[in-house]
Amino acid sequence: MFDLTGKVAVVTGGSRGLGRADCLTLAKAGADVVVTDILIESDPSIQEAAEHANSPLAQLFASQNVVYSEATSDAIRAMGRRSAAIKMDVTDRDQVHAVFAQIVEQFGSIDILVNNAATLDHVAQIESQSDDFWDRDVLVNLTGAYNCTKAAFPYMRQRNWGRIIYMASVAGTLGGFGQSSYASTKAGVIGLGKSVALEGARFGITANIVAPGIIGTEAFKAGNPKMNDRMVLRTAMRSAGEPEDIAHTITFLVSPEAKYLTGQVITVAGGIDLFTF
């Protein structure tokens, strides 16, 4: 229904999970898609990249070959779209600007930006919150989205058209037990997204924020099973969502048809925020 033919999308953190589903779904709708991530299968320094990320989850998935950046890009090309898998760390400001310039040179534009990359592997109550992981979460989840927005915005403004998505979480709107760093960054991207929506409106640029609840990605499944069961039971639907539930929402938000929808937080959470009992 939503036709993204001729649009160039950049997705951060596309090696697995929601980012990967976003890449494939946007391509199905017709977009050319650039998959970016710190983890790229054929990168000889993939283990070092995972170490550098200071993320147990990145180290686990790199060692288990749960990395599909190039595979996703290949699947997109097999659909007849243009695609590339590019190593990019959203926390490296110079690299982000260089990669975005390279994308515009190679693909002609950046029309859609999905700020999906995040770290979500630190759960600790406030007294045990690691200072190191606090800094990491702010740097990746919030500053990373800022870096990518700042790099993409001028290209969108030049063409008077753009769509920017921020991945928040219900942890950012409801708070999260043991998730002070993660939840704070997810609340932060809501402020960032609304501000960008205000500034982008005169240039045909919309910015919206998606707040997923519990989605059954590899990262979610790697979590504590008892905690996961409790979270799923909080949803009205009594089940985790699928990555495509998020990807379809994003496909609508970045479509030409969603031109009057901006600065909104769209919760896709199976009713986790309802009075479930």
Ligand X SMILES: NC(=O)c1ccc[n+]([C@@H]2O[C@H](COP(=O)([O-])OP(=O)(O)OC[C@H]3O[C@@H](n4cnc5c(N)ncnc54)[C@H](O)[C@@H]3O)[C@@H](O)[C@H]2O)c1
Residue 169 lies near ligand X (rule: CB under 6 A): yes
Which residues are catalytic, by number?
182
Tokens describing residue 144: 């990373």
Q: Which is nearer to ligand X, 13 or 193 (CB)?
A: 13
Partners of residue 33 on adjacent β-strands: 9, 83
Closest to 15 in 3D by CA, of 59, 52, 62, 56: 62
**Which of residues 217, 235, 249, 267 is near ligand X by CB under 6 A?**
217
CB–CB of 16/67 below 8 Å? yes
Q: Which residue, 9 or 53, is less far from ligand X as judged by CB?
A: 53
Quick one: which of 7, 9, 11, 17 contacts ligand X (CB under 6 A)?
A: 17
- With CB atoms as reference, the residue minimizing the distance to ligand X is 17
- Helices 144-159 + 180-200 axis angle, to 10: 10
Q: Which of residues 35-64 bind ligand X (CB under 6 A)?
A: 37-39, 53, 57-58
User: What distance in Å separates the CA atoms of residue 68 and residue 122, rounded to the nearest whole number?
Assistant: 23
Q: Select from 75-83, 87-95, 100-108, 257-265 the region that touches ligand X (CB under 6 A).
A: 87-95
Residues 121, 215: Cα–Cα separation, whole Å: 15
**Would you state the torsion angle of the CA atoms of residues 277, 186, 64, 62, taken in this order, to the nearest 10 degrees?**
180
For ligand X, the closer of residues 37 and 111 by Cβ is 37
Cβ 85 to ligand X shortest distance, Å: 11
Neighbouring C-beta atoms of residue 243, cutoff 10 Å: 22
Say how far apart CA 120 and CA 135 lie, in whole Å. Answer: 13
Residue 18 found at the interface with ligand X (CB under 6 A): yes
**Least distance (Å) between residue 61 CB and ligand X:** 7
Q: Which is nearer to ligand X, 35 or 160 (CB)?
A: 35
> In the beta sheet, which residues pair with residue 87?
37
User: Could you give the CA distance from residue 178 to residue 124 in angstroms, rounded to a whole number?
Assistant: 4
Is residue 91 near ligand X by the rule CB under 6 A?
yes
184 binds ligand X (CB under 6 A): no
* Distance (Å, whole) CA 122 – CA 176: 12
* Residue 149 falls in which region: left (phi positive, over 0), alpha (psi -120 to 50) or beta: alpha
Q: Is 220 in the site for ligand X (CB under 6 A)?
A: yes
> Is 13 a binder of ligand X (CB under 6 A)?
yes
Q: Where are the beta strands (DSSP E) in 158-215?
A: 162-167, 205-212
Q: For the CB of residue 263, give the shortest distance to ligand X in the complex, in Å.
A: 19
- Is residue 72 a contact residue for ligand X (CB under 6 A)? no
Binding mask 114-153 for ligand X (x = CB under 6 A): --xxxxx-------------------x---x---------
How many residues touch ligand X under the rule CB under 6 A: the total is 32
Interaction site with ligand X (CB under 6 A):
12-13, 15-19, 37-39, 53, 57-58, 89-91, 116-120, 140, 144, 167, 169, 212, 214-215, 217-220
